[in-house]
């Protein structure tokens, strides 16, 4: 590990914030350097601070501590994500013997310089108590690897040198702040404090030196581990165990299955679903196939800070049975065993601690599967990604730790204190979940206006969305629009042809390996052709039927095994057409193919109800798109329609608007709203047709 500090870049960064005190700008810059290295911190871990002298409203000078907001990711931290705290009243708290969670939370809130700022880091008191101007704290892997050895404290002192203080694990908050201050007062010459199974703090009056001390000590630990690891084989392969021949297909099947088995029922027909993030790679696969895998999975987190993200233990699936039924039975036993173990841990800790917190869910978050790799679960796509990142980094760190000789787990009481600490739980996302949070949607025809509008409304309602299309360039454009609005973590583009069944199955595998499965299917891919029957080329008819009718059939058929593996119901919402009920002349190929697809959807409603899968139809008309994303259908038939009616593009749109009862323009987002209505199970409805056409009497469902 090397310092990434660059004097010119630091100065350029400060110039972006001319109103910001120079030292606070430097604090933001070096914090981002720390956050950029996953070997130092991951997803909201670690914290940094700077103390500044500032004048209050009366013109009096006082010291403010600017400390990272709780749960903020250092890699992209902004100046407004540092919380200003008045240090004088906080320093007085060192005289207390103890403080309750409620009182500590209150003290940190009332001594903020701004009522509107975030909650400060849970280590704010330590940053306040120590006198140094700049303080950096990380959960550096190499430091934690050393601390998990049998002789951890002595080894850390030996490797890192005399200018550090090594303390045993102390719970975050007042106790840790007092212990750190005591260590510094006993030895003012120290440059760093290491807390066993927690991490390292470095400090200095200069921001660059505080950061580079961090890099210096972490690099020393890394060098020692690297040297020792060259001399020791860590993993012993299990005889006769190999990765599956088609790992992606098996991984998709496993993700669908485990996601469904962990979904908790909210009511008769609603579930709290998980997203699944799948990680593979040579090192993870080797670990999954090793004799040591079970012990590694049961040996716990690197630091208690991770337990709220991943739980303490990883479920190890030691082999993959030949049949899906056998795999499901094995996974079920493993999940049940994990839950029993978690409940024992919880009940034991509340008896010994005397506190009575509300139990968190007992479900696992990480699975290490033989021959495949790591699967992580989260209630949001971001939570699943965080758990996967931490899980992957933890497994790799444990292998390095075993290369040194051992890995000692953290005690249950330390874990429980952190997992159920009120201030730690503030890092978790407590926002009101979206209507479709936890659900995964696949929208075919995603490169067109309706596909984009439907995906937009599903994303706005909390779902993760995969958009599929045969046209890679159009799909890329829609993906860019949606990712810019909602972030890239919840949108996936998949290029495939709905007329090819094998391609559809592969697309479902891609989506399942990205998000875990599919809950909402929106068959929307369609093409059109204008010709009177006597002029209709049979080849053109076959082409339209292949996409609009057969394509609908293939995506529904291929989705059924996915829905059944998850066993949590689901929704299929066909984007049908007003032409099903009110066809137009010279539009026979399109109207007939859409009528056929509509009928297929009705049959699906009859056949899939027993699995809790609802199938409904949305019948739009005259959705033209906008300047960003055009309608592929109107791109094809618009010029012919304009020519036949003697209108330009604007006139054609107005013509269709005026012919409806409501005289309104139908937007792609309106179609998306109808999809969300069905997908959110707000009524017990299946087999229904919902017009989104402004009111066309001839197209009223009947």
Percent of the chain whose pLDDT exceeds 90: 84
Q: Any idea what the CATH number is for the domain that residue 509 is in? A: 3.40.50.720
Q: Any idea what the CATH number is for the domain that residue 120 is in? A: 3.40.225.10
Q: Any idea what the CATH number is for the domain that residue 392 is in? A: 3.40.225
In a domain, 201, yes or no: yes
Task: Specify whether 368 is located in the same domain as 420.
Answer: yes
Q: Which residues pair with 616 in a beta bridge?
A: 573
Task: Specify whether 394 is located in the same domain as 482.
Answer: no
Task: Specify whether 577 is located in the same domain as 511.
Answer: yes
pLDDT at 347 over 80: yes
Higher per-residue confidence, 433 vs 290: 290
Residue 290 CB: number of other CB atoms within 10 A?
A: 19
Q: How many domains does the chain have?
A: 3
Separation in Å, CA 469 to CA 39, 252, 496, 540, 562: 38, 20, 6, 20, 20
Secondary structure letter of residue 625 according to DSSP:
B
Percent of the chain whose pLDDT exceeds 70: 98
Q: Report the C-alpha gap between 401 and 386 in whole angstroms.
A: 22
In a domain, 683, yes or no: yes
For residue 515, the SS3 value is helix
Task: Specify whether 617 is located in the same domain as 545.
Answer: yes
Task: Specify whether 205 is located in the same domain as 318.
Answer: no
Task: Specify whether 148 is located in the same domain as 274.
Answer: no
For residue range 140-189, list pLDDT tens digits in order: 999 999 999 999 999 999 999 999 999 999 988 999 999 999 999 999 99
Where does the pLDDT of residue 268 fall: very low under 50, low under 70, confident under 90, or very high at 90 and above?
A: low
In a domain, 416, yes or no: yes
In a domain, 242, yes or no: no
Tokens of 492: 């996936």
Q: What is the pLDDT of residue 44?
A: 84
Task: Specify whether 493 is located in the same domain as 626.
Answer: yes
Which of 425, 453, 477 lies at the terminal end of a domain, its last residue?
A: 425
Q: Report the C-alpha gap between 578 and 28 in whole angstroms.
A: 56
Separation in Å, CA 268 to CA 265, 271, 569, 612, 681: 7, 9, 11, 10, 11
In a domain, 404, yes or no: yes
Question: Is the distance from CB of 614 to CB of 571 less than 8 angstroms?
Answer: yes
For residue range 198-210, list pLDDT tens digits in order: 999 999 999 999 9
In a domain, 217, yes or no: yes
For residue range 528-548, list pLDDT tens digits in order: 999 999 999 999 999 999 999
pTM: 0.93
For residue range 121-144, list pLDDT tens digits in order: 999 999 999 999 999 999 999 999
Task: Specify whether 253 is located in the same domain as 176.
Answer: no
Task: Specify whether 526 is located in the same domain as 646.
Answer: yes
Find the domain containing 140 and state its range.
7-229
pLDDT at 255 over 90: yes
Task: Specify whether 208 is located in the same domain as 258.
Answer: no
Task: Specify whether 508 is located in the same domain as 634.
Answer: yes
In a domain, 560, yes or no: yes
Task: Specify whether 566 is located in the same domain as 592.
Answer: yes
Which of 425, 456, 482 lies at the terminal end of a domain, its last residue?
A: 425
Q: Edge-to-edge, what's the strand order for the sheet holding 275-279?
A: 275-279, 373-378, 366-369, 315-317
613, 697, 701, 11: which is closest to 260 by C-alpha? Answer: 613
In a domain, 326, yes or no: yes
Active site positions, annotated:
590
User: What long-range pairs does 672-676 form, CB within 8 A, spacing at least 24?
Assistant: 672/453, 672/454, 672/455, 672/456, 672/457, 672/458, 673/457, 674/573, 674/618, 675/454, 675/457, 675/458, 675/520, 675/522, 675/573, 675/575, 675/618, 676/435, 676/436, 676/457, 676/458, 676/461
For residue range 384-427, list pLDDT tens digits in order: 999 999 999 999 999 999 989 889 999 999 999 999 988 888 77
Which of 198, 229, 260 lies at the terminal end of a domain, its last residue?
A: 229
């Amino acid at each position: 590990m090397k310092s990434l500090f660059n004097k010119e870049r630091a100065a350029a960064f400060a110039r972006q914030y001319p109103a910001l005190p120079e030292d606070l700008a430097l604090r933001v810059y070096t914090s981002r350097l720390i956050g950029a290295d996953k070997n130092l911190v991951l997803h909201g871990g670690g914290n940094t601070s700077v103390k500044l002298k500032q004048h209050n409203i009366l013109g009096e000078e006082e010291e403010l501590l600017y400390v990272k907001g709780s749960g903020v990711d250092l890699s992209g931290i902004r100046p407004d994500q540092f919380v200003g705290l008045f240090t004088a009243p906080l320093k007085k708290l060192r005289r207390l013997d103890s403080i309750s969670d409620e009182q500590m939370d209150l003290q940190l809130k009332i001594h903020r310089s701004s009522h509107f700022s975030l909650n400060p880091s849970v280590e704010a008191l330590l940053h306040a108590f120590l006198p140094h101007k700049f303080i950096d704290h990380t959960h550096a892997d190499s430091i934690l690897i050393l601390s998990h050895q049998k002789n951890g404290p002595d080894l850390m002192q030996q490797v890192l040198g005399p200018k550090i203080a090594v303390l045993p694990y102390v719970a975050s908050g007042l106790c840790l702040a007092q212990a750190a201050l005591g260590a510094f007062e006993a030895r003012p010459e120290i440059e760093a404090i290491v807390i066993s199974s927690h991490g390292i703090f470095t400090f200095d009056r200069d921001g660059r030196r505080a950061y580079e001390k961090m890099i210096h000590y972490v690099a020393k630990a890394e060098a020692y581990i690297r040297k020792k690891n060259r001399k020791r084989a860590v993993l012993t392969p299990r005889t006769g165990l190999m990765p599956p021949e088609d790992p992606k297909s098996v991984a998709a099947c496993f993700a669908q299955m485990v996601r469904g088995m962990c979904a908790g029922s909210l009511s008769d027909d609603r579930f709290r679903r998980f997203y699944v993030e799948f990680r593979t790679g040579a090192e993870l696969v080797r670990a999954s196939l090793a004799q040591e895998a079970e012990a590694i999975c049961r040996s716990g987190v690197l630091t208690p800070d991770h337990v709220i993200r991943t739980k303490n233990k990883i479920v190890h699936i030691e082999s993959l049975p030949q049949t899906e039924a056998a795999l499901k039975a094995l996974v079920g036993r493993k999940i049940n065993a994990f839950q029993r173990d978690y409940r024992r841990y919880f009940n034991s800790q509340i008896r010994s601690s005397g506190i009575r917190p509300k139990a968190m869910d007992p479900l696992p978050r990480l699975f290490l599967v033989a021959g495949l790799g790591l699967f992580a679960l989260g209630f949001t796509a971001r939570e699943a990604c965080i758990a996967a990142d931490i899980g992957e980094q933890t497994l790799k760190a444990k292998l390095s730790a075993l290369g040194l000789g051992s890995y000692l787990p953290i005690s249950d009481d330390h874990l429980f204190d952190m997992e159920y600490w009120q201030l730690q739980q503030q890092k978790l996302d407590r926002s009101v979940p979206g209507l479709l949070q936890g659900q995964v949607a696949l929208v075919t025809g995603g490169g067109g206006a309706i596909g984009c509008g439907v995906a937009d409304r599903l994303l706005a309602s909390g779902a993760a969305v995969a958009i599929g299309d045969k046209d890679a360039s159009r799909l890329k454009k829609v993906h860019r629009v949606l990712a810019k609005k909602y972030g890239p973590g919840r949108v996936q583009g998949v290029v495939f042809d709905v007329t090819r069944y094998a391609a559809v199955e592969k697309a479902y595998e891609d989506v399942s390996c990205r998000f875990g499965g599919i809950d909402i299917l929106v068959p929307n891919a369609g093409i059109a052709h204008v010709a009177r029957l006597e002029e209709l080329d049979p080849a053109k008819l076959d082409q339209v039927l292949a996409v609009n009718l057969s394509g609908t059939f293939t995506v529904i058929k291929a989705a059924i095994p996915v829905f059944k593996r998850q066993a949590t119901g689901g929704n299929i919402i066909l984007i049908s057409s007003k032409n099903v009920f009110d066809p137009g002349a010279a539009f026979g190929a399109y109207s007939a193919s859409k009528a056929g697809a509509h009928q297929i959807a009705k049959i699906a409603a009859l056949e899939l109800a027993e699995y809790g899968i609802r199938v409904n139809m949305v019948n739009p008309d005259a959705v033209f798109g906008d300047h960003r994303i055009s309608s592929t259908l109107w791109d094809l038939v618009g010029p012919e329609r304009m020519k036949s009616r003697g209108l330009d593009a604007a006139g054609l749109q107005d013509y269709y608007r005026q012919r409806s009862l409501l005289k309104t323009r139908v937007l792609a987002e309106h179609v998306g709203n109808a999809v969300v209505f069905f997908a959110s199970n707000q009524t017990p409805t299946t087999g229904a047709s919902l017009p989104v056409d402004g009111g066309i009497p001839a197209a009223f469902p009947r």
